[in-house]
Structure formats: C-alpha cells, structure tokens
Amino acid sequence: MTMNASGTPETENLRVGVDVGGTKIEAVLTDAAGTVLASARKAARKGGDEVVEDAVAIVRQVAGMRFDEVRSVGIGIPGLVHRDTGRVENVVNLGIENLELGGRASGMLGLPVWVDNDVNAAALGAYGTLPDRLKHGRMAFVNLGTGLAAGFVRAGLVERGDTGALGEIGHLPVDPNRMACKCGQRGCLETACSGGGLRRMWPVADPPLPDILARADGGDGEAERVLGIALHALADVVQIVAQAADPSVIVIGGGVSRAGSPLLDALRGELRNREASSGFIAGLRLTERLRLADASIPIGALGASLIAC
C-alpha cells in the first residue's frame, strides 16, 4: 500500500493473471507496472465447474491479504475464446465444450474478469521479456505445452483473427505419421511434437523430451526414431509460422521448451538439413529467428495479467 500526497493510504492498482493449462494452473499478482509480486501454482482438473473453481481459488491464493487491492483479473485458457463475453469453447484437453468462464469467475470474485486464449496471453508475456532490439517487428510465439498453438504480437499488441482461431496450428492435419488426435482428426501436428504427443510416444519418462534427447545422443534407436518424428513436426511448425506470418522473431515456449538448448540445437539441425536441399528455405534464415522463452518467468500468467484492464 502506498501513501498519497496528503499522507493517507491509497490502494495500488493490482492485477492477477491466471494461466490455465492442460495439466497445471499458474497465477501471478502484479502491480500497475507489470512487476510480479507473488506467484502460485496448482494442478489442473478437467471439467468446466472444476476450472472455474480452481481459477477463482488460485486468484484468492496468490492475492492473499491484498485481495481487496486487486482491481481486475485476466485468464488465459486454451480453446476458442469469445473475448467480448468471456465464453470459451472446445477446450479439448480439459474436457470443456462450452463454458461461461468470465461471467462465472467474475460473479464469484466480485471483480472484472477478462478472458483470452492462453497462447495469446503467453505471447504477450514473452514479447515483454524480449530485449528492445528484437521488438521492431512481428513476434511469433510457439507454445509447446500439453497442446500446440501459436500467438503473434506486433508493437505490443496481440494480433487476432476474425473468429479467434488465429494460431491454432496444432490441429493442422499434415503430419505424415497420421496419429489420432483428440480433436477427431488424424495427423495433427500436435500429436507429434506437443507435450501430450511426446508423452504418448515416450511414456517411460516425464518430462519425456530431455530423456529422448539424451538417449538419442547415446545411440538409442527408438529414441532416435521418436526424436525424428518430433523434430520433423516442429520444423514444419516453424516453416508454417514463418511462411504464413513472416515474423522477425520466433520464440519457442511452453513446457516442452524447458528441455532448453539441446532442443533448440536439434531443431536448428533439422532446419539446416532442409536448407541444404532448398535454396528457398535457406533464404528464409529460419535458424536466425529462433529464440527460447525464458523458463524462469511464468509468461502465460504474466501475459494474462496484462490483458486485464
């Protein structure tokens, strides 16, 4: 709490951002400048009622004794989000077909609640962490979480499509392995390089990717096979994002990206192989555009707080 010019206390303009994922929910308490004051995390539960209950509970948890100073809440969640109403649809990994998330959470908290797609929120959070020299053009954020999607930011503003489906590249059915997807299609990119897809292909370790990378480096044939599937799909993702939106920076984030530099090195190797046989791909200079999101910052929750007016 700060003091005004007359010496009497005044409350700060605090906001809470909530990042609802397929396996976890994170929240941050931020001040008006976007500084993170507190954070919280809990496991996600499937079902509409459960998501509303958990989002409300974690807002109260992260705000703690300062709940009365919170002026608004932002929630990022997968699926198709109607920002004007706070309604969400088709959250496949949480078993939600239709949920009035914004209205219900607002009623329970007694606060304005703004809802956006989780990847849009994470993209905004990731954009804020970039050095100024990389903010001159469009940034693409590729989220490798339980699912797969992309978000786009230009000059600090999230770019959106007409229906809210911009960036839903995880459900492009172009992967040649044709594995079944929860969305009802086969061959979605999400089945081959998302966290959920990797766990299905490599159930012996959690998280799977660091183990896959280490075993493949040691000559394990099955690990090499699975890694090849994942890298092929991820390189397809990078090409699709680059050729469709032409961003100056492509940030790889989400839980899978916590594999760190070995993942980025392997992805760049896959892209260089493509460059070697295609002058067109070489001219796109894809490897130079790639960055990893800062794993120490909860960018999804941070970005959600930034969408809260």
DSSP the chain: -EE-TTS-EE---EEEEEEE-SSEEEEEEE-TT--EEEEEEEE--SSHHHHHHHHHHHHHHHHGGGGGGEEEEEEEESSEEETTTTEEEEEGGGTEEEEEHHHHHHHHHTS-EEEEEHHHHHHHHHHHHS-GGG-SSEEEEEEESSSEEEEEEETTEE---SSS-TT-GGG-B--TT--B-TTS-BSBTHHHHSHHHHHHH-TTSSSHHHHHHHHHHTT-HHHHHHHHHHHHHHHHHHHHHHHHH--SEEEEESGGGGG-HHHHHHHHHHHHHHHHH-HHHHHHTHHHHEEE--TTS-HHHHHHHHH--
Residue 241 forms part of a structural domain = yes
Residue 89 forms part of a structural domain = yes
Residue 62 forms part of a structural domain = yes
Q: Both 143 and 276 in a single domain? A: yes
Whole-number pLDDT of residue 183: 86
Q: What is the pLDDT along the chain (309 residues), one digit of tens a residue?
A: 444 444 434 557 899 999 998 889 999 999 988 899 999 999 999 999 999 999 999 999 999 999 999 999 999 998 888 888 999 998 877 999 999 999 999 999 999 999 999 999 999 999 988 988 888 889 999 999 888 999 999 988 999 888 767 898 999 999 999 999 988 999 999 999 999 999 999 999 999 999 999 999 999 999 999 999 999 999 999 999 999 999 999 999 999 999 999 999 999 999 999 999 999 999 999 999 999 999 999 999 999 999 987
Question: Structure pTM?
Answer: 0.88
Query: Residue 260 sits in a domain of what CATH number?
Result: 3.30.420.40
Q: Both 100 and 52 in a single domain? A: yes
Q: Both 137 and 267 in a single domain? A: yes
Q: Both 274 and 303 in a single domain? A: no
The number of folded domains in the chain is 2
Judge contact between 257 and 263, C-beta under 8 A: yes
Q: Both 286 and 138 in a single domain? A: yes
Whole-number pLDDT of residue 4: 47
Whole-number pLDDT of residue 26: 96
What is the Cα–Cα distance from 197 to 33, expressed in whole angstroms? 37
Residue 224 forms part of a structural domain = yes
Residue 165 forms part of a structural domain = yes
Q: Both 26 and 106 in a single domain? A: yes
Q: Both 139 and 185 in a single domain? A: yes
Whole-number pLDDT of residue 229: 98
Judge contact between 190 and 181, C-beta under 8 A: yes
Q: Both 238 and 303 in a single domain? A: no
Q: Both 166 and 278 in a single domain? A: yes
Q: Both 197 and 279 in a single domain? A: yes
Q: Both 115 and 206 in a single domain? A: no
Judge contact between 268 and 250, C-beta under 8 A: no
Residue 127 forms part of a structural domain = no
Residue 126 forms part of a structural domain = no
| Residue numbers of the domain that contains 156 | 132-292
Residue 186 forms part of a structural domain = yes
Whole-number pLDDT of residue 11: 55
Q: Both 202 and 267 in a single domain? A: yes
What is the Cα–Cα distance from 200 to 231, expressed in whole angstroms? 16
